[in-house]
Amino acid sequence: MSINNIEFSTKPDSGTSGLYGEDFLLTWEKSRADLETILAVAEDLKMLRDNNISPRCFDSGLAISQFRDNSTRTRFSFASAANLLGLAVQDLDEGKSQIAHGETVRETSAMISFLSDIIGIRDDMFLGAGNTYMREVGAALDEAFADGVLPQRPGIINLQCDIDHPTQSMADLLHLKTVFGSLDNLKGKKIAMTWAYSPSYGKPLSVPQGIIGLMTRLGMQVDLAFPEGYGLIPEVVGLAGKQAKESGGSFRTVNTMEEAFDGADIVYPKSWAPFHVMQRRTELLRKNDHDGLKGLEKECLANNARYKNWECTEEKMKLTKEGKALYMHCLPADISSVSCKEGEVAATVFERYRVPLYKQAGFKPYIIAAMMLTNRFENPAEVLMGMGKKGTRRVS
Amino acid sequence: MSINNIEFSTKPDSGTSGLYGEDFLLTWEKSRADLETILAVAEDLKMLRDNNISPRCFDSGLAISQFRDNSTRTRFSFASAANLLGLAVQDLDEGKSQIAHGETVRETSAMISFLSDIIGIRDDMFLGAGNTYMREVGAALDEAFADGVLPQRPGIINLQCDIDHPTQSMADLLHLKTVFGSLDNLKGKKIAMTWAYSPSYGKPLSVPQGIIGLMTRLGMQVDLAFPEGYGLIPEVVGLAGKQAKESGGSFRTVNTMEEAFDGADIVYPKSWAPFHVMQRRTELLRKNDHDGLKGLEKECLANNARYKNWECTEEKMKLTKEGKALYMHCLPADISSVSCKEGEVAATVFERYRVPLYKQAGFKPYIIAAMMLTNRFENPAEVLMGMGKKGTRRVS
Amino acid sequence: MSINNIEFSTKPDSGTSGLYGEDFLLTWEKSRADLETILAVAEDLKMLRDNNISPRCFDSGLAISQFRDNSTRTRFSFASAANLLGLAVQDLDEGKSQIAHGETVRETSAMISFLSDIIGIRDDMFLGAGNTYMREVGAALDEAFADGVLPQRPGIINLQCDIDHPTQSMADLLHLKTVFGSLDNLKGKKIAMTWAYSPSYGKPLSVPQGIIGLMTRLGMQVDLAFPEGYGLIPEVVGLAGKQAKESGGSFRTVNTMEEAFDGADIVYPKSWAPFHVMQRRTELLRKNDHDGLKGLEKECLANNARYKNWECTEEKMKLTKEGKALYMHCLPADISSVSCKEGEVAATVFERYRVPLYKQAGFKPYIIAAMMLTNRFENPAEVLMGMGKKGTRRVS
């Protein structure tokens, strides 16, 4: 079977200059053309698999995963992506390794990479640390490759850090592209990235930062809303403003959910910890100060509790464009009276959007696979068309 | 190399109506024809591999495993089966996931399934919960597939629940078929499924229930023996009686090992916890009542100790048909003076049957592979013959 | 693509009599010809992969790993090797298994092996136990295969035991062969295997034992240096002396690092625990005597501290041949003022040899792959040339 007659989204002239051989750490380090290539490759990989064509392009090879925080969605997405392309996942579990014995990042990075093609890292617990760690690994790999220690330089994929969550925001963007028909159709659309109440604390800032750091590049009207004191990393906020101007969109910060929801085409209500709390938390975690952490959690939860009205209710949804804004979330959401007493979203709102939410999540394996493929192949269009031509069945 | 001239056990007209696209949760939900197909496919897969023909039918794909209880045999059998067919195993470790954060089963089930073909679940700790959980996952998958969230509906394989242990009982049946020559030869044979003493407590009921729920369908004389108070789930016992009648066999409950062993062709002495103890244990586990659990364990072990004479000894084996009944066990057995002081079986009996016992266990990977294959392919005979024709060597 | 015109290191007449179907437990159980074959196959596998030729020789199959101690390098090397040849890794995690329930090694070994090709074991915590355990597993596999329980007898690879660390020493030897041009060139070269100070204790003896047990076979001048009381297993030391004589080299024990370094071509300074301490530690571990273990650690660290001058410094390096001896280590090293205050090696020395050290480590995946391949294929030269001829691309 072959599907020569099907049109591929990835064109021979697709941008790849910032992808091939380059780590994917922050969306704003990639050109618009590169990001469009990721979306196109993801769509093509999905299309091939949906047509039972195996997009396998590795006969062997390892995709290393390192999760410094819990994960279900991203873990399975990474495993699915690796498997789809023919890579085996090998997890670097620091607890079972020699890393605790004072081994340097430079050394470990080389040691796990002799026969590895891709390294995926989640490191979102320490503000100022996660992205830095990824770059430290990257520098170690560059050096080891230059020194002839490694036969190839594995590509790094950021599976969530303290700054960005690019596999999430790109999956979100592919969802928006699918729902609204094209990236062009997103121009002028209003998206409300807003804080929401949660009975837990310490949630990373990477999702809201990832959203404002990406959506401001598409000519969208991006509203960021949060209660006083719940600000994001200032540099990312500054970047969002700059990008909005350049793309012909807008970016502003507001202090109520209602303002952000007003006339919005898309809403993304999600809890996060205040930037300054994350800074204090990082210090306390570093010091292993359990009492300090408990005190901070108590204080922070008490402060959160002042904003229980930051819930995505039916009433607030009515403020959006025709009352029909697309509700988004990275999941799992704190659903009021389902997963908690009072949370980020009313059960009826969540339930009405459950199917699109799950579809949103379903793009992540393909986004990660696209990041893997474009990192290793200079001409993804050729590779994809080759797969279509060959037509190996995934399920025989 | 090809093995066209070898005869396959799986015939083109083999029953598959209850297998293709259907979860394998309880043997008694499957028709006799379906069960025979599982056995035949398992035999053919074994035959192909034994002839160094690779029965790979997936170029990529994931087999998810979720073990809510410890496992060696089933874990390795599942991994072996997946690998044999070309699937990569991805373990859902709830401790490393977001599941503790109040995520619903409905959501998690969809999230892990975007590119998954098979989900194997072991959940045998909570009476009334394990099988229910599997059906909850199944319903979530049905819904996600119907909603277009999933491109395929992964098949669920019960790797042991509170009610049945179908991969075990079907491997046991394949063992019996092999030893006795055919399923027909099992007609009229007497099998003694009996409780046995163990110095541990809380062993699941799923093995004895699986055995009486399956062997009563083959025209066998099934004797279930246990000390007073060690009864099984009443519904399964009722079902066994009904099935025995329909198949022309018999089913009865007796209160001594000796009665059950008397003239038996097959004996299956194995410890389990009383149904009502499991019910209390489930309640205590749910409440996290550690003191209650300790008390129950103590009470239960004291009660067990009253039945130390329920041991499969050489003397008892002499009661069986010509003193040569086939001894079976799901392993690991509590072997007196080997793995414990006083246990389920005398060391000499176990040792005499060690080889057949290990062979019995060796059928499980193929049974699981057969369950996977028949879940994904409507015409297994065609698939298997295609493999034989193609003749790809497993080891080149 | 094919690389017929490239010369393979593995010759049709390469020794394999002690490899095919034989476990790899101790290098000194293998003939010189066998060891040369391992090196040649490792070189060829590396050459194939470096030329993007996939050396896959299994369409499916499992490589079981059992790590009874932490591991990064060896774990990833094993996973890389398995993946390169087409095997999937399945880890036997005793914590998640039934092994704690008194199951015998004989039984577990059979249970995990029904569809397994290779079993890799690390067991280095208990003196007198690790290698014994591997042989116990081997005997169980022999028996299960002879009994018809297993369709094949999986090969065992020692991933470090209490006696030897053959995947390490063979990777070290391949490094030496590469650096010095040939094994013949190693004749007469002096290697200093010396104890070094470390702020930790309880490091296994397997690396120094592996080095003296292997390098004395190559006509090298092997100096073993350690402070009084830090001796190795006497049998291995005796063997080293005997082998040195047979190979035309030399072996002696000296009591200062300086003597060993004097005129050395190669130095291997590395900490280990004294033999008699490991014996006491083994007893205490068996008894679960935490207080005893703490006391022993304190005592041992205090004793270690008397030998802080056993550090590989720039000064000591000047004693070596032209001050330019090759510095080796199995990694991770205790680097003074980098990974600890005072350690095995000065930071400047380590840094100067970092690249060769990493290259040394990079041979391990290929050594393990060579051990796997020669265990399963009687004629590795034929297999390798077949791979070159077929020329399947690893990355398409």
* Mean pLDDT across chain A: 94
Q: Which of C59, C107, C148 sits opposite B56 (nearest CB)?
A: C59
State pLDDT tens for residues B209-248.
999 999 999 999 999 999 999 999 999 999 999 999 999 9
Residues of B whose CB is below 8 A from C385 = none
Mean pLDDT of C58-78: 93
CB atoms within 10 A of CB A367: 29
* Mean pLDDT across chain B: 94
3-class SS shares of chain A: helix, strand, coil, % to 5 = 50, 15, 40
The full DSSP string for A8-63 is PSS-TT---TTTTT--B--GGGS-HHHHHHHHHHHHHHHHHHHTTB----BSS-EE
Domains A27-163+364-390 and A168-361 fall in the same CATH topology = yes
Q: How far is CA A331 from CA A47, A197, B100, in A?
A: 24, 15, 13
Interface touch C114/B80, C-beta < 8 Å: yes
Question: Which residue type is seen at C348?
Answer: T
Q: Which of A72, A358, A364 sits opposite B98 (nearest CB)?
A: A72
- H/E run at residue B46: helix B32-50
CB atoms within 10 A of CB A376: 24
pLDDT the model gives residue B101: 58
- Tally DSSP H helices, then E strands, for chain C: 15, 9
Interface touch C75/A97, C-beta < 8 Å: yes
Give the distance from residue A291's alpha carbon to the nearest chain B alpha carbon, in angstroms: 23
Which residue, among B158, B79, B180, has the nearest Cα to C114 in the 3D structure? B79
Residues of B whose CB is below 8 A from C111 = 72-73, 76, 331, 358, 361
d(CA A251, CA C40): 63
State pLDDT tens for residues A165-184.
999 999 999 999 999 999 99
Q: Provide the pairing of β-strand B88-91 with B116-123.
A: unpaired
- Evaluate if residue B4 carries a pLDDT over 80: no
Residues of C whose CB is below 8 A from A112 = 72, 76
Q: What would you measure as the largest C-alpha separation in chain B, in angstroms? A: 64
- What are B280's two structure tokens? 């209390």
Pair A191, A173: CB distance under 8 Å: no
Mutating which of C46, C53, C72 best tests the A interface, going by the most A Cβ atoms within 10 A? C72
Pair A219, A247: CB distance under 8 Å: yes
Partnered with residue C67 across adjacent β-strands are C122
Residues of A whose CB is below 8 A from B145 = none
Q: Which of A56, A62, A148 sits opposite C79 (nearest CB)?
A: A62
CB atoms within 10 A of CB B349: 23
Lowest-confidence segment of A85-99, A361-375, B349-363 by average pLDDT: A85-99
Burial of C208 (0-12, 13-18, 19+ CB in 10 A): buried
- H/E run at residue A365: helix A364-376
DSSP structural state of residue A155: E
Interface touch A60/C334, C-beta < 8 Å: no
Mutating which of B80, B340, B393 best tests the C interface, going by the most C Cβ atoms within 10 A? B80
- Evaluate if residue A100 carries a pLDDT over 80: no
Taking phi first (over 0 means left), then psi (-120 to 50 degrees means alpha), and beta for anything else, what does residue A102 get? Answer: left
Q: Which of A67, A72, A83 sits opposite B88 (nearest CB)?
A: A83
Is the CATH number 3.40.50.1370 carried by domain C27-164+364-390?
yes
Residue B306's SS3 state is: coil
More confident residue, C335 or A98: C335
State pLDDT tens for residues C156-191.
999 999 999 999 999 999 999 999 999 999 999 999
Q: Provide the pairing of β-strand C62-67 with C116-123.
A: parallel
Q: pLDDT category, B269, cuts 50, 70, 90?
A: very high
DSSP structural state of residue C265: S
Q: pLDDT category, B285, cuts 50, 70, 90?
A: confident
Q: pLDDT category, A348, cuts 50, 70, 90?
A: very high
pLDDT the model gives residue B1: 47
d(CA B261, CA B320): 5
Helices A364-376 & A32-50 angle (0-180, nearest 10): 110
- Evaluate if residue C283 carries a pLDDT over 70: yes
Mean pLDDT of B84-104: 80
pLDDT the model gives residue C313: 98
Question: Which chain B residue is nearest to residue A45, measuring alpha carbons?
Answer: B115
Q: Which residue is associated with the tokens 């090809």?
A: B2
Q: pLDDT category, B127, cuts 50, 70, 90?
A: confident
Task: Compute, in degrees rounded to 10, the torsion defined by CA atoms A332, A337, A342, A344.
Answer: 30
Helices B364-376 & B166-180 angle (0-180, nearest 10): 110
Alpha helices in chain C (DSSP H): 32-50, 73-85, 105-111, 130-146, 166-180, 206-215, 234-247, 257-261, 275-287, 290-305, 314-318, 347-352, 354-362, 364-376, 380-390
Interface touch A61/C395, C-beta < 8 Å: yes
State pLDDT tens for residues A210-244.
999 999 999 999 999 999 999 999 999 999 999 99
Fold of A27-163+364-390: Rossmann fold (3.40.50)
Predicted TM-score (pTM) above 0.95? yes
State pLDDT tens for residues C292-319.
999 999 998 999 999 999 999 999 999 9
Q: pLDDT category, C98, cuts 50, 70, 90?
A: low
Q: pLDDT category, C93, cuts 50, 70, 90?
A: confident
More confident residue, A73 or A115: A115
Mean pLDDT of B358-367: 98
Catalogue the E-assigned strands of chain B. Answer: 62-67, 88-91, 116-123, 155-161, 190-194, 221-225, 250-254, 266-269, 326-327
Interface of C with A (CB under 8 A): 49-50, 54, 56, 67, 70-73, 75-77, 79-80, 83-86, 88-89, 200, 331-332, 334, 338-340, 355, 358-359, 361-362, 364-365, 392-396
- Evaluate if residue A2 carries a pLDDT over 90: no
Chains A and B form CB pairs within 8 A to the count of 110
pLDDT the model gives residue B71: 86
Burial of B147 (0-12, 13-18, 19+ CB in 10 A): middle
- Evaluate if residue A97 carries a pLDDT over 80: no
Residues of C whose CB is below 8 A from A57 = 395-396
Residues of A whose CB is below 8 A from C200 = 101
- End-to-end Cα spacing for chain C: 11
Strand order in the sheet with C116-123: C88-91, C62-67, C116-123, C155-161
d(CA C218, CA B279): 68
Pair C339, A104: CB distance under 8 Å: yes
Partnered with residue A120 across adjacent β-strands are A65, A157
Residues of A whose CB is below 8 A from B111 = 72-73, 76, 331, 358, 361
Alpha helices in A216-274 (DSSP H): 234-247, 257-261
Interface touch C358/A110, C-beta < 8 Å: yes
Catalogue the E-assigned strands of B232-340. Answer: 250-254, 266-269, 326-327
Interface touch B72/C99, C-beta < 8 Å: yes
Mutating which of A45, A51, A68, A75 best tests the B interface, going by the most B Cβ atoms within 10 A? A75
Interface touch B49/C115, C-beta < 8 Å: yes
State pLDDT tens for residues C30-54.
999 999 999 999 999 999 999 999 9
Pair B329, B344: CB distance under 8 Å: yes
Fold of B168-361: Rossmann fold (3.40.50)
Pair B61, C60: CB distance under 8 Å: no
d(CA B231, CA B207): 13
Contacts of C366 (CB under 8 A, 6+ apart): C42, C43, C45, C46, C81, C171, C174
Question: Which residue type is seen at C197?
Answer: Y
Contacts of B96 (CB under 8 A, 6+ apart): A67, A70, A71, A75
- Please state the separation of Cα B237 from the chain's center in Å: 17
Interface touch C358/A107, C-beta < 8 Å: yes
- What are A238's two structure tokens? 């500054």
Pair C285, C293: CB distance under 8 Å: yes
- What are B91's two structure tokens? 């373990």
- Evaluate if residue C70 carries a pLDDT over 90: no
Q: Which of C56, C72, C75 sits opposite A60 (nearest CB)?
A: C56
Q: pLDDT category, B98, cuts 50, 70, 90?
A: low
- What are A375's two structure tokens? 């990192």
The full DSSP string for B274-318 is -HHHHHHHHHHHHHT-HHHHHHHHHHHHHHHHTTTT--B-HHHHH
pLDDT the model gives residue C1: 47
Q: How far is CA B182 from CA B175, B178, B187, C84, C154, in A?
A: 10, 7, 10, 42, 31
pLDDT the model gives residue A1: 47
Domain-wise residue ranges, chain C:
27-164+364-390, 168-361
- What are B1's two structure tokens? 């190399």
Mean pLDDT of C95-105: 67
Q: Which of B98, B116, B376 sits opposite A332 (nearest CB)?
A: B98
Touching chains, A (3+ CB pairs < 8 A): B, C
Question: Which residue type is seen at C346?
Answer: A
Give the distance from residue C84's alpha carbon to the nearest chain A alpha carbon, in angstroms: 6
- What are C343's two structure tokens? 């350690």
CB atoms within 10 A of CB C166: 30
Question: Which residue type is seen at B164?
Answer: D
pLDDT the model gives residue B276: 85
Taking phi first (over 0 means left), then psi (-120 to 50 degrees means alpha), and beta for anything else, what does residue B361 get? Answer: alpha
3-class SS shares of chain C: helix, strand, coil, % to 5 = 50, 15, 40
